[in-house]
Structure formats: structure tokens, C-alpha cells
């Protein structure tokens, strides 16, 4: 059957549904128009394994969140779909009613603007990874990880219980509890990515319980934000981790130059590398505290709300009788600030120094590699970052258990070398320093563009 005309999309979709999706064929050009933003085509289509799906209404019911699937409207979502879903058979029931056809036989496997060789080589690598069993979790590893978090948590309480709440034991306890919270953050991250258990339902269930009861945050709130980041890392307006641009920071030289040329100045961005030290963690702390409750109430996630409230009841009952309410409030904000500082530096060292731009719809490998970098492997680096020093491997294979990142790294390096893609790896302190260096560079880019425009106006006047 010849591809339907652009104004006959509705007929094509109806025919595709009636015949189980096999009766309609489409071109990449037709799919590319269905982003939900281009009139008169308000539909949202995407492609998975050459099959074309209409997600115009389904995106609102998508279990992983509406935005993450909308970010791929009009694009090939094959590698993203494969990367995010552990049990393909389980999610197939959602796809069947959405099928409207497939790509025409003369169409390539992904958009013509993408490097087809990279696409095919990565999909072969994905098959190799599955055959090697690198997506299978080691339950003992994660049990020991959880055990050491519990011991840190108990150690924090015992320090106050035995030594009292004078300055030294108080600070030691804060450090232990903040460390436990940091490590729990990495473990909930594993659960959120379905990499702890072989069954998705067990990951989802434990993620909700531990995220709420052990951290006082909401699992679905985290999923809604984090999956978008993985789908389109460092893509402005699609990666929520970049939402601090331009209110607080000017991120990436291209976006910073745009702000300068538009004469926008929400902050003195040329000094952002200085105020990042406190403002980064300082802003994230109240944002997390407020937004998690707002999200749960707005979405009517009452069970998660009750579970996360139980976290505050637990630590209140543990510490208020030992130190009183006033010191407990100080204790709470200190360990939260320590935790958020660790989270900010570890999470941003792999991304802020990298390429930041609008969505260029490149292939999966290029999209992830240009937005991520690694930090040298060592026992401390692996533990301190929750193996997120292997950010490249984590982004290419989000459901891979973190204890297998080092095994797949040589294969990823070979793929990058073959296609001349930069594979960056640096020491931990260098990675931390690169955050400030990149902020300084983009801030200066904004300043130069801003002052150039101001000087131009002065000359005209």
C-alpha cells in the first residue's frame, strides 16, 4: 500500500487499527510531522522496531510519565524503549492498541539524519550484553549494600544515644546519617532503574517503600523527573535537570550566548561558578522538600504520601527524645544539606561540563556520550558515587546492575573508538573542578554576548 497523504493521517490510523497495524505504511517524514506541536498534525507518533504507534492520548496514561514519551514524539524511540523496559512482554499489551502501521520497506531503520552504522553496531552490542548476562542482578551485592546503609543509620543513632548530643558526637552522628542517606540515594536509584531484581514489580514495590520510608521522598516523583533526564540528557526543555537554566545559571555556551544576545540577566552569570558552591545545594534542598509533597498531593498518591510521612515520624521518634526538638531541627537540616551537597556534586560532575543544547535527535549512543563522562574507577570512587562514576555505561544501559558497569566498559570504549566518538574519563577531583570551570566558561560567554549587545545599543543611541 502506498503511504497515505499527509492530510489523510486519520484514515491511515483507522485502517491500521482495523487490520492490526499491518495495512498502513509511513515514511520518516510523515512520522516526523507528528510531534504534537506542528499544525495541522497535532498527533503524536513514534517508532519502535519499525512499527509506528500513535501515543496522542496514551502519553497521559504512560506509567513512566507523560513527558518522557512525548519527548520522542515524531522520532525513533527503539533504543530508548529497549533501554528503559525490563520486561518487553509485559509492556507489549500497552503497545498493541496503539499500533497504526509500520515504516515503508524503502525506509531505513532509523531517521535518515542518524548514523545508521552506529545504530546497528550499538544494537549488536546490546545483544552481546544480554547474551553475557550483564543485565542480571547479583542479589547478594545489593543485600550487602542495603545492610551497610542500615548499619550507618543505626550507628548515627547509637552515637547520640551513647555519647550524648554534645558537639563532637552530634557532628559524627550527622556525618553518619548523611552518608547513610547518600548511599540510600544510590540504592533507590538502582531500584528505580529496575536493576536490583529480575522482576519489575519487585523493583517498583521496594523502590516505593525504601524511597519513602528511608529517605522521605516519593518514588513516582523521582521517576517522573529522572526518566526524562535519561531519555534526553542535557537537552534543554526536555531534561528537567537543566531547569535551573536560566533562572539560576547559564548552562552550556550556546544557551548562555542566547541569553546574552537576548539581554536576559536573571542572575550575574559571570559569577555563577562562585555562587554555585552554596546556591546549587541550597536551592535543591527546599525544592526537593516542597515539590515531593506537592507532586504527591497533586497526583493523589496517598499511599506514597503516607509512607514518606512515616520517615519523618521515624526520625522524630528516634532523635527528639535524645536531643530535644530544637537540636533535632538543626540535626535534620545539617544532614539534609550534607546529603544534597554530595548528590549535587556527584550528579552534576558527569553532565554540566558536557555538551548542552536543544534536542538534536541524534542516535542513542551519540545522544548519551555527548552528555555524559566517566570518573576513574577505584574502590572509593565506586562506593562514594554509587558506581555513577560509570555514567556512560549507566546511560547506555539504564537497567544494567551497577556491579557490571566495569565489565561492559571495554566494549563501549571499542564501539566509541570505532566510530570516533569521544569517551571521556577523568579523576574525581578533576570532575568536580570541571563543574566550576564549565560554569565559569559559559558565564563568560553570556557576559561577552550581553556586553556586546549593550555596547551595540549604546553606539546606536
pLDDT score at 279: 80
Q: What distance, in Å, lies between the first and last C-alpha atoms of the chain? A: 63
Q: How do residues 183-210 score in pLDDT, each as one tens digit?
A: 999 999 999 999 999 999 999 999 999 9
What is the Cα–Cα distance from 458 to 394, expressed in whole angstroms? 50
Q: What is the pLDDT of residues 356-392, one digit of tens each?
A: 999 999 999 999 999 999 999 999 999 999 999 999 9
CA–CA distances in Å: residue 273 to residues 34, 156, 426, 433, 439: 40, 33, 20, 10, 5
Residue 65 and residue 47: Cα distance in Å, rounded?
18
Backbone angles phi, psi at 240, to 5 degrees: -65, -15
How high is the pLDDT of residue 303? 92
In three-state secondary structure terms, 360 is: coil
Contacts of 28 (CB under 8 A, 6+ apart): 103, 107, 108, 111, 112
Q: Tell me what percent of the residues of the chain surpass a pLDDT of 70.
A: 93
**What gap in Å lies between CA 390 and CA 285, rounded to an integer?**
25
Residue-level length of the chain: 461
In tens, the pLDDT along 245-297 reads: 999 999 999 999 999 999 999 999 999 999 998 887 878 888 888 999 999 99
Give CA–CA dist 356/445, Å, rounded. Answer: 14
CB neighbours of residue 172 within 10 Å: 15
pLDDT at 397: 98
Confidence at residue 460, expressed as pLDDT on a 0 to 100 scale: 54
State pTM to two decimals.
0.90
- Report how far residue 64's alpha carbon sits from residue 67's, in angstroms, rounded to the nearest whole number: 9
Cβ atoms of residues 306 and 366 within 8 Å: no
pLDDT at 436 over 60: yes
> For residue 94, is pLDDT > 90?
no
- Using pLDDT thresholds of 50, 70 and 90, give the confidence band for residue 459: very low
Residue corresponding to grid cell 540504592? 187
- What is the pLDDT averaged over residues 7-25? 49
Backbone angles phi, psi at 92, to 5 degrees: -60, -30
Predicted confidence at residue 92, as pLDDT, reads: 81
Task: Find the angle CA(79)-CA(84)-CA(87) to the nearest 5 degrees.
Answer: 105
Tell me what pLDDT residue 1 has. 34
Confidence of residue 2 (pLDDT cuts 50, 70, 90): very low
With residues binned 3-state (H G I as helix, E B as strand, rest as coil), the percentages for the chain, rounded to 5, are 65, 5, 30
Amino acid at each position: 500500500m502506498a503511504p497515505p497523504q499527509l492530510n489523510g493521517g486519520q484514515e491511515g490510523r483507522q485502517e491500521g487499527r482495523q487490520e492490526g497495524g499491518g495495512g498502513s505504511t509511513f515514511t520518516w517524514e510523515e512520522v516526523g510531522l507528528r510531534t504534537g506541536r506542528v499544525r495541522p498534525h497535532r498527533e503524536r507518533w513514534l517508532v519502535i522496531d519499525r512499527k509506528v504507534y500513535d501515543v496522542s492520548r496514551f502519553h497521559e496514561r504512560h506509567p513512566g510519565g507523560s513527558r518522557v514519551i512525548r519527548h520522542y514524539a515524531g522520532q525513533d524511540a527503539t533504543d530508548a524503549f529497549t533501554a528503559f523496559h525490563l520486561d518487553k512482554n509485559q509492556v507489549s499489551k500497552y503497545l498493541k492498541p496503539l499500533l497504526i502501521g509500520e515504516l515503508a520497506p524503502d525506509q531505513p531503520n532509523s531517521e535518515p539524519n542518524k548514523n545508521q552504522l552506529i545504530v546497528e553496531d550499538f544494537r549488536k552490542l546490546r545483544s552481546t550484553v544480554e547474551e553475557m548476562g550483564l543485565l542480571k542482578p547479583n542479589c547478594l551485592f545489593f543485600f550487602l549494600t542495603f545492610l551497610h546503609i542500615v548499619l550507618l543509620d543505626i550507628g548515627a543513632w547509637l552515637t547520640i544515644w551513647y555519647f550524648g548530643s554534645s558537639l563532637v558526637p552530634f557532628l559524627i552522628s550527622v556525618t553518619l546519617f548523611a552518608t547513610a542517606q547518600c548511599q540510600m540515594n544510590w540504592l533507590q536509584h538502582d531500584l528505580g532503574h529496575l536493576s536490583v531484581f529480575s522482576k519489575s514489580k519487585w523493583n517498583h514495590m521496594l523502590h516505593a517503600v525504601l524511597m519513602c520510608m528511608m529517605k522521605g521522598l516519593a518514588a513516582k516523583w523521582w521517576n517522573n523527573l529522572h526518566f526524562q533526564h535519561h531519555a534526553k540528557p542535557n537537552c534543554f526543555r526536555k531534561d528537567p535537570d537543566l531547569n535551573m537554566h536560566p533562572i539560576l545559571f547559564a548552562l552550556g555556551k550556546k544557551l548562555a550566548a542566547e541569553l546574552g544576545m537576548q539581554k536576559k540577566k536573571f542572575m550575574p552569570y559571570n559569577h555563577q561558578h562562585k555562587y554555585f558552591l552554596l546556591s546549587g545545594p541550597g536551592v535543591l534542598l527546599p525544592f526537593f522538600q516542597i515539590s515531593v509533597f506537592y507532586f504527591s498531593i497533586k497526583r493523589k498518591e496517598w499511599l506514597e504520601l503516607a509512607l514518606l510521612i512515616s520517615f519523618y515520624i521515624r526520625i522524630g521518634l528516634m532523635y527528639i527524645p535524645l536531643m530535644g526538638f530544637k537540636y533535632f531541627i538543626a540535626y535534620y537540616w545539617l544532614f539534609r544539606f550534607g546529603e544534597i551537597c554530595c548528590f549535587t556534586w556527584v550528579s552534576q560532575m558527569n553532565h554540566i561540563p558536557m555538551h548542552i543544547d536543544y534536542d538534536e535527535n541524534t542516535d542513542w549512543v551519540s545522544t548519551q556520550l555527548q552528555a555524559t563522562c566517566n570518573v576513574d574507577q577505584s574502590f572509593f570512587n565506586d562506593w562514594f558515587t554509587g558506581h555513577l562514576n560509570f555514567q556512560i555505561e549507566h546511560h547506555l544501559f539504564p537497567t544494567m546492575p551497577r556491579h557490571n558497569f566495569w565489565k561492559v566498559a571495554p566494549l563501549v570504549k571499542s564501539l566509541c573508538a570505532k566510530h570516533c566518538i569521544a569517551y571521556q574519563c577523568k579523576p574525581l577531583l578533576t570532575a568536580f573542578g570541571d563543574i566550576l570551570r564549565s560554569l565559569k566558561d559559559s558565564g563568560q560567554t553570556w557576559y561577552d554576548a550581553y556586553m556586546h549587545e549593550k555596547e551595540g545599543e549604546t553606539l546606536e543611541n
